[in-house]
A and B are shown apart, each in its own frame.
Chain A
């Protein structure tokens, strides 16, 4: 019986291949995700273990509020005097201090070289005459920089941006761009690519000067004397350290650094895996449908087997076995395709400006196991229903002409069950969205299962919905498509459950795309609404990408520019208050002239009155922490100092948020407490408002700050919305895989349908239908199916967006009509695309053979 099942599979190669495609793609996504993230993780691991390769112990600054440089906190620097003390320790053979910071390199085009995705612009110091054993970098050309005007940069940047030893290059740190002469190029040992990161190297005094760290160090590398273990070394160093410093062995430090970055990578991994699972879920629909159609077409064969003594169980297992074989083969292909997909995903991220470090491809056992397991299990689950249907084939179907598969006993209740499933799933989602006190995992789980349930429910309801909707959607085809169009419309309704499940697969992708587009439209509209309400300045000054902070020097450069009336910067930093880490901002006294806040307590005069220890907060923060004007606030900075503040004002931000963090203090105090303060934004008003002359003057004043970008209000909105636009694009691309799979579903159904209607098509040709008309008939049917997918998916997506929006007390609900129309047009195009192969097959049918076909 096994051989019979396998031979049957061989005999239906095309159908088997069509079934497999969806699993191949889904598994490829999963394996690709694993390969990509494992590779990046390994790369980071290599980077950090390279960095601390010869370091027995390392002293670094310690943030008093937790976190580290690897996850966005700037730890305080060490006093340089510590170095002498450490050198005097009996166990220390060698100690070298260094600076680690960020320095943006400026290209020949006077633009900052790092990509928009925020890859780091690393800067390190070297001691050109010292022992290089702690230095993880190796020279590829030239020599180490020495003296105030020299720099070495990484070889990749040098190559790709056309810099060579002897050239000068612009460097942007805390002031205007400075020029340095390149004396060497370097690379990090053992890593093939650092991704989009750039490296700048200076000698120690130069680094201390340009980073405002004179008399300070960011790290001290230690080598122990013989017979002194790293742990013993650490124990010796510990008593010397101030509260703002910590010491770890090299191995510990490498591990910690890798752990810090892995947080982000794990997020990336889960994020991408989610799309893999969505793709597989869509794939399950496609497989179930394809197998279902195949079963219906094989009814006579299955019935014959039954008359020859095959039990229901044997029929069931033969279908399951077939699915199993398809699942295994498809998963194996998918696994290896994943290797290619990992490259493609990486290219995708690079094109979006996210360039992560790489080493040789990592293909872990776990990838193989999970990929195979998930692929096979999904296929098997998808096969259950078709297999059960197969068991319902009665032996008598072997002798009856035109027998149809008996409906299951439950089929009659289908629509009711569907509604129950939908309601239960929506209920589950509501629980996940609104019930308080749930763990994040439980919340996500109930949301995920709820969403899957909604899809399944709608798909179950679809056979009931399809005929009326298809009649409407098929109307244009019937009206203008001639005989082909009329027949196509009829065909799409003729087997509603088949059309329904084909369309349902597409529905899933369309739903998700609609969901994100509606949410994004909401975010954008509230954001721009917010900016329109608050923004009373003429110009905004940000970094080129709008989210990395800029040096306050660029803001200062605008003071005194002719025509400029107000310049007001907003600083940003991290701190701790009421037991949790928060983002804080700092404003200048004149901020009310550029940002018009609605004050519930205090007034527009409040920012000017902040002084050294005043603070203001948003209404929600005040409420959460039970604050009112006069309340004391203890704010702890990364250096460990505690600012004792008094609340002076509470403002009510618009729904789209404000430029301010949880707590806002004065720049006077901020600049005293935070080394190297930076602006998140600055706002500018000019005499005469926005004019070309004013714009030109501002740009002129910022010529030496290549990272600074001066913009009008609407330009500012567009730039700040860039993050959302970017995320939206990324989501579209990732969801397109699911949509692609569902298109294969349409191809499958059409091919199988053509196959099934061979005789009928032969008859149509015999009575005078042209090949072209046959092809058009298939195309129309394909478009109707695709439109059905859109017609089901768009409303479901909008409803889900409403629910999610309500849950996150989402400000505005905006339906992006234009985008939705684009989706519908996209569905038509997709339908045409899916019809190419089936239409060709149908058009090619030989009339005579088709008529004889049994």
Chain B
């Protein structure tokens, strides 16, 4: 069970929190086989914001799903917070998810019948825990939802909905947060706000984050950028500029 230690704003994680080794993923059988990942290894350090980029169909989502334990690799291993997850049964995986993993989806995936605040605390509700008041207020303030807390998703804009989703992912202070194209369904301006929020959570709370994105702007906020093509990591940049990122992207596209 996730135990949120009172008064400690950031998860006290050190070193490598996610470690993938020689991960491959093959879809389908026979003639329709697709090798979405063809041997990917990577480690994510605590407190880092890692961006994953690459052309459509390069395997970004597949990688993300496998890292997050939503999908199993065909070969290879994945460790989260020191636990090898590919062989865990559903119950253990669920508990691991509660304690260590947060998600932000492209399509928000909010529960329509719950208010914004209820959606935010949902992971705690599921785990049978009470939110820590101060932390919750802080989160709502950070995400600018303080005066929207009783609204239902249908009464919120796309950007607001994604902020609810972000707050929901952060509320348990997961070891690692995954976000698959969190801005993919938003306009450029609101998308920018979400990116800033993500960065802020890394900076302020030390929230380790892995994010798939198409936006070169991500370069500005990411500590590390991985480029995927055809199921392989083909390049890696650290503290890159937007120009550098655009360069790599165009080289991959050609």
Inter-chain contact A309/B70, CB cutoff 8 Å: no
Does A310 lie at the interface of the complex (its beta carbon under 8 Å from any beta carbon of B)? yes
A-B contacts besides A305-B126, A308-B168, A311-B95, 14 pairs, CB < 8 Å? A1-B128, A3-B125, A301-B111, A304-B109, A307-B97, A307-B101, A308-B98, A309-B94, A309-B95, A309-B98, A399-B61, A399-B65, A399-B70, A399-B180
Chain B, 87-121, CB within 8 A of any chain A CB: 90-91, 94-95, 97-98, 101, 103, 105-107, 109, 111-114, 118
Asked whether A304 and B111 contact (CB < 8 A) given A312-B90, A399-B61, the answer is yes
- Residues of A within 8 Å of B68, CB to CB, are 307
- Residues of B within 8 Å of A307, CB to CB, are 68, 70, 97, 101, 103, 109
> A314–B95 Cα gap in the complex (Å)?
12
- Report A1-24 CB contacts with B as 1/0, cut-off 8 Å: 101100110111000000000000
Nearest CB in chain A to that of B110: its residue: A304
Asked whether A399 and B97 contact (CB < 8 A) given A3-B125, A8-B113, A305-B126, the answer is no
Chain B, 220-235, CB within 8 A of any chain A CB: none
Interface residues of B (CB under 8 A from A): 2, 61, 65, 68, 70-71, 90-91, 94-95, 97-98, 101, 103, 105-107, 109, 111-114, 118, 122-123, 125-128, 168, 172, 180
- Residues of B within 8 Å of A396, CB to CB, are 65, 70-71
Inter-chain contact A308/B70, CB cutoff 8 Å: no
Inter-chain contact A308/B61, CB cutoff 8 Å: no
Asked whether A308 and B122 contact (CB < 8 A) given A7-B113, A8-B113, A396-B71, the answer is yes
- Residues of A within 8 Å of B97, CB to CB, are 307-309, 395
- Residues of B within 8 Å of A398, CB to CB, are 70, 103, 105, 109
Q: Is the interface of A mostly helix, strand, loop or mixed?
A: helix
Closest 3 CB pairs of A and B: A11-B113, A309-B98, A304-B109
A3, A4, A394 — most chain B CB neighbours (10 Å) = A4
14 residue pairs of the A-B complex, CB under 8 angstroms, read A1-B126, A3-B125, A4-B125, A8-B111, A300-B109, A301-B109, A308-B98, A309-B2, A309-B95, A311-B91, A312-B91, A396-B65, A398-B109, A399-B61
Nearest CB in chain B to that of A3: its residue: B125
Total A-B pairs, Cβ < 8 A: 78
- Chain A proximity of B198: nearest CB distance (Å): 18
Asked whether A1 and B125 contact (CB < 8 A) given A11-B112, A395-B70, A396-B65, the answer is yes
Does A306 lie at the interface of the complex (its beta carbon under 8 Å from any beta carbon of B)? yes
> A300–B108 Cα gap in the complex (Å)?
11
Chain A, 836-854, CB within 8 A of any chain B CB: 854
- Chain A proximity of B116: nearest CB distance (Å): 13
- Chain A proximity of B123: nearest CB distance (Å): 4
> A311–B96 Cα gap in the complex (Å)?
11
- Residues of B within 8 Å of A12, CB to CB, are 113
Inter-chain contact A310/B126, CB cutoff 8 Å: yes
Chain A, 363-414, CB within 8 A of any chain B CB: 394-396, 398-399
- Residues of A within 8 Å of B95, CB to CB, are 309, 311
Inter-chain contact A309/B111, CB cutoff 8 Å: no
Asked whether A310 and B113 contact (CB < 8 A) given A305-B126, A399-B61, the answer is no
- Report A151-175 CB contacts with B as 1/0, cut-off 8 Å: 0000000000000000000000000
- Residues of A within 8 Å of B106, CB to CB, are 399
- Residues of A within 8 Å of B91, CB to CB, are 311-312
- Residues of B within 8 Å of A310, CB to CB, are 94, 126
B107, B111, B112 — most chain A CB neighbours (10 Å) = B111
- Residues of A within 8 Å of B71, CB to CB, are 396
- Residues of A within 8 Å of B2, CB to CB, are 309
> A399–B71 Cα gap in the complex (Å)?
11
Chain A, 723-743, CB within 8 A of any chain B CB: none
Inter-chain contact B113/A308, CB cutoff 8 Å: no
> A1–B111 Cα gap in the complex (Å)?
13
> A306–B103 Cα gap in the complex (Å)?
11
Asked whether A311 and B94 contact (CB < 8 A) given A1-B126, A396-B71, the answer is yes
- Chain B proximity of A11: nearest CB distance (Å): 3
- Chain A proximity of B186: nearest CB distance (Å): 15
> A311–B95 Cα gap in the complex (Å)?
8
Nearest CB in chain B to that of A318: its residue: B126
- Residues of B within 8 Å of A8, CB to CB, are 111, 113
- Residues of B within 8 Å of A312, CB to CB, are 90-91, 94
- Chain A proximity of B99: nearest CB distance (Å): 8
> A3–B95 Cα gap in the complex (Å)?
21
